[in-house]
Amino acid sequence: MTELDQRFLALPLDALADAALTAMSSVAGLEYGDLRVHRDLVQWIHVREHDLISLSDSEPRGFGVRVVVDGSFGYAAASELTPAAVRAAVQGASEMAVALRPLLAERVELAPEPAHQEIWVSPRELNPFAVAAQDKVALMLEATAAALAAGAKFSEFYTQQVQEDRLFVSTEGSRILQERVRVHPVLEVGMLDEDGTGLVETMRTLSRPVGQGWEYVTGYGFKEEVPQLVELLREKLAAPSVEAGPHDLVIDSSNLWLTIHESVAHGTELDRALGYEANFAGTTFATPDKVGSLQYGSSLMHVTGDRVQPLGLATVGYDDEGVAAQSWDIIKDGVLVGYQLNRQMAHRFKLERSNGCAFSDSWSHVPLQRMPNVSLQPDPARDTTLEDLWAQVDDGIYIVGDKSWSIDQQRFNFQFTGQLFYRIRKGLLAGQLRDVAYQSRTPDFWGRMVGLGGPSSWRLQGAMNCGKGQPEQVAPVSHGCPPALFRGINVLNTRSEGQ
């Protein structure tokens, strides 16, 4: 196992933990308490064409204290990593809990969780923060230069790298040390139609954010991929515009993951279903009274939540409430059977245990119920290939890559577009199309899924920037899925819709 960063271990972790637990032991009416110490490393690099535009490094660190006093939550945080600051935060959090108690409609109660004393470190071959910045910049500039040499009119490359270090201790006896890294490389190229139409098109590589080290970036082959991207852009600029109306769609995993994220993953957050997020992020049509009866999609639809998927962005050993990572069913045979939840939501939903979905993006923020890795499972019966799915389409469209999206506050009506669109004729690809977006209602869309790729076609996708909460927090999350076939989905022509 990769070792924890010694710079994190050099912080006064034991002294902070002892101060927190000792101070909590003297709080009258205290039912629960925990301390989280955060230390992050974050680096952003941006190059455009032949130039380095920006390179920034930050190292936020601090701690947060959470208590339950007489059935009421209190929280306090500080950036000063001293026992005195921890004791003051325990007092402040306790006073907040007491002040808020008269306003609560119901007591805060947490589902039980065994005590854990563990160390967990995410696997990686090369920690991105062990690589010299000039080497990273050189790799990125080589790729943008290759794009220009291939005929792109402009090109830029972003990378974000994060290392999270955490200490969690609780009055229940847990003491957990964790470290995980993630990287997100994004290379984008652009072209314009010089024949007088004025069209401008951009395209990103299909590289994804991943819970992995810098070896993912060096092994991806950006420099080698850009000539293909440029040629695809040329073809797209010359492609005909789509004819609006119902079409059979084969949707690649590089596009379908975002539809899963917005219409399924956000729709099955229990705090959202209970109304906790209504003011900012909305609610969901998938309400708790429909568990076990709501037909979310076709019988092929099997969606799981997990915090254990290798290289997943939401993969951890333990969540920010000390709950061990797990996997579970959310949708089975097309029927809603479960939710994502934290300890408070689990108790309210009358479950014996949380499935470990608490996360805070900063020491200064209280943990929220956040999305785990939410994935559509492949066809278990046979290893259906992408070509097998095309073969089932006489006249349709193949969609690759994510781009823009829109969905309502109940996660019900939506519209998505992509990066590449191919005409399918008699089971084969027959050139590109432009201006494609697909529109539907969540249960109608998933109910029209009639084909799924098999295990060899399943791919892990995701995002680093899922937003939720007030003040807003940003969380990384992965979504795995195979390509899938949908019948009779309404397709819009984005160019004519925008006129």
For 85, the enclosing helix (H) or strand (E) is helix 83-100
List of residues 6+ apart from 151 with CB closer than 8 A: 191, 230, 234
Burial class (CB in 10 A: 0-12, 13-18, 19+), 134: exposed
Do residues 329 and 340 make contact, with C-beta atoms less than 8 angstroms apart? no
List of residues 6+ apart from 102 with CB closer than 8 A: none
Amino acid at 328: W
Q: What is the DSSP string of 291-357?
A: TTT-B-S-TT--EEEES--TT-TT--SB-TTSPBP-EEEEEETTEE---B--HHHHHHTT-SS--S-
Token output for 342: 């934290």
Tracing tokens 């925990």 back to the chain, one arrives at 34
Q: How far apart are CA 269 and CA 286, in angstroms?
A: 9
Residue pLDDT, tens place only, 120-174? 999 999 999 999 999 999 999 999 999 999 999 999 999 999 999 999 999 999 9
Do residues 241 and 389 make contact, with C-beta atoms less than 8 angstroms apart? no
Position 291 scores a pLDDT of: 97
Q: How far apart are CA 375 and CA 479, in angstroms?
A: 5
Q: How many residues does the chain have?
A: 499
Position 5 scores a pLDDT of: 95
Position 450 scores a pLDDT of: 98
Token output for 443: 């249960």
Token output for 243: 């004819």
Assign 188 to helix, strand or coil.
strand
Q: How far apart are CA 214 and CA 183, in angstroms?
A: 7
Position 496 scores a pLDDT of: 87
Q: How far is CA 151 from CA 90, 140, 188, 201, 398, in A?
A: 60, 17, 13, 13, 26
Taking residues 310-332, report their average pLDDT. Answer: 98
Position 499 scores a pLDDT of: 66
Does 386 score more than 60 pLDDT? yes
CA atoms 24, 25, 30, 34: torsion sign: positive
Residue pLDDT, tens place only, 405-446? 999 999 999 999 999 999 999 999 999 999 999 999 999 999
Q: How far is CA 335 from CA 52, 301, 341, 459, in A?
A: 50, 8, 18, 23
Show me where the domains of the chain are located. Answer: 6-238, 245-497
Tracing tokens 């697909």 back to the chain, one arrives at 438
| Fold exhibited by the domain 6-238 | PmbA/TldD fold (3.30.2290)
Taking residues 39-53, report their average pLDDT. Answer: 98
Residue pLDDT, tens place only, 454-490? 999 999 999 999 999 988 999 999 999 999 999 999 9
Position 196 scores a pLDDT of: 63
What's the distance, CA 278 to chain centroid? 20
Position 158 scores a pLDDT of: 97
Give exposure, 428-462, as e/b (b: 16+ Cβ within 10 Å).
Answer: eeeebbbbbbbbbebbebbbbbebbbbeebbbbbb
Burial class (CB in 10 A: 0-12, 13-18, 19+), 330: buried
What's the distance, CA 374 to chain centroid? 9
List of residues 6+ apart from 99 with CB closer than 8 A: none
